[in-house]
Amino acid sequence: MKDGTPDQDKKTDWAESRTDWAEDRTVLANERTFAGWMRTGMASVALALGLKAVFKDAEPDWLPRAVALVFIAIAVGIFWAARSQAIKAHTRLDTHAAEAQPSRLYTLASVAFSLAAVATGFVLVTL
C-alpha cells in the first residue's frame, strides 16, 4: 500500500518488481517441468523398447509385447498429464519480462510425442 512518501513508494515499486520477477521465474520453471515430464515419458518408451529387446525370445511370445505396451500407455498418460498441468499453470500466471511459450505448443508437443509412442508400440507389436 502506498502512503505517498517517496521512500514508501520506492519500497512498493521494488516489492512489485520482485513479485513480477518471481512470477517470470515460475513461468519458466513450468516450462522446464513440462520438458522434464516429456523426458520421463520418452524414458518409458525407451524402457518398452529395452524390455522387448531383452525378452524377445521369452515364452509366451506375447508377454514381452504386452509389458512393452503397458509402458507405451504409461508414456502417453505422462505426456497428457504433463500437458494438462502445464496449461493449468500457464493460464494462472502472467509474464512480465520473460516470454513464455504459447500454450498451444504444450498440446502440439503432447500430440507429437503421443503419436511417436503409439507408432513405436505398433512396431513393437508387429515385430
**Does 94 fall in a domain?**
yes
Q: Judge contact between 40 and 112, C-beta under 8 A.
A: no
**Does 76 fall in a domain?**
yes
**Does 59 fall in a domain?**
yes
Cα three-residue angle 125-77-72, rounded to 5 degrees: 20
The number of domains in the chain is 1
pLDDT tens for each residue of the chain, 127 residues long? 455 666 666 666 656 665 665 776 777 788 889 999 999 999 999 999 998 888 878 888 888 888 899 999 999 999 999 999 999 887 776 665 566 677 889 999 999 999 999 999 999 888 7
**Does 62 fall in a domain?**
yes
**Contact partners, residue 68, CB within 8 Å, separation at least 6:** 48, 49, 51, 52, 121, 124
Task: Tell me the CA end-to-end span of the chain in Å, nearest whole number.
Answer: 68
Enter the pTM of the model: 0.77
**Does 17 fall in a domain?**
no
**Does 119 fall in a domain?**
yes
Q: Judge contact between 38 and 109, C-beta under 8 A.
A: yes
Could you give the maximum distance between any two Cα atoms of the chain, in Å?
Answer: 81
What is the span of the domain harbouring residue 35? Answer: 30-126
**Continuous H helices in 55-103:** 62-92
**Does 90 fall in a domain?**
yes
What's the confidence (pLDDT) of residue 101?
A: 74
The set of cell numbers assigned to 78 is: 505422462
Amino acid identity, residue 123?
V
**Does 51 fall in a domain?**
yes
Q: How far apart are CA 48 and CA 46, in angstroms?
A: 5
